[in-house]
Amino acid sequence: MRLLGGLVVQPFVAAALAFVMFPLLLLDRGGQTLAGGYPADVTDAALSVAMGVGIVASAVVLIGVLPVAVWLIKRHDLTLKETLILGLGFGNLPYVLLGVAAGGTYGVAGLLRGVTFSSLSGLVGAALFWLISIRPRGTPQQGE
């Protein structure tokens, strides 16, 4: 059940993080997007990005993270370091695949912003997953 709990929260955490990070990482200092436009409403744009990130995170969790997590947990205890490395990989996987499919990432600035955005999302999600699902629990006390 802890494994399921750690996986269920991932899309929500990714969406919330994307909502907060949108104006910080995906807009330049002048409020311009990577594509060169200006959002009419930054909150609506952030909400749109958050919903998209949540949907993509759901797919990544179901297709990639769940099978890998079950396979690794059956073989050995995952350390925080291993979990964070996997989170970094799974966080960047959709960005790399979508960037290749789209034929580019808006130059060096777009690449740096996208990798930073994806890396933070993957690391925060992995850390939360480890805290919920993997973190060693204390030894039971008498009477528990």
Residue 111 lies in a domain: yes
- Is the pLDDT at 86 greater than 70? The verdict is yes
Dihedral of alpha carbons 27, 90, 77, 62, sign: positive
- Is the pLDDT at 53 greater than 60? The verdict is yes
Residue 140 lies in a domain: no
Is the pTM for the entire model greater than 0.85?
A: no
Please count the structural domains in the chain.
1
Query: What range does the domain containing 65 cover?
Result: 2-134
Residue 90 lies in a domain: yes
Residue 92 lies in a domain: yes
Contacts of 72 (CB under 8 A, 6+ apart): 78, 82, 86
Question: How much is the average pLDDT of 45-56?
Answer: 93
Residue 27 lies in a domain: yes
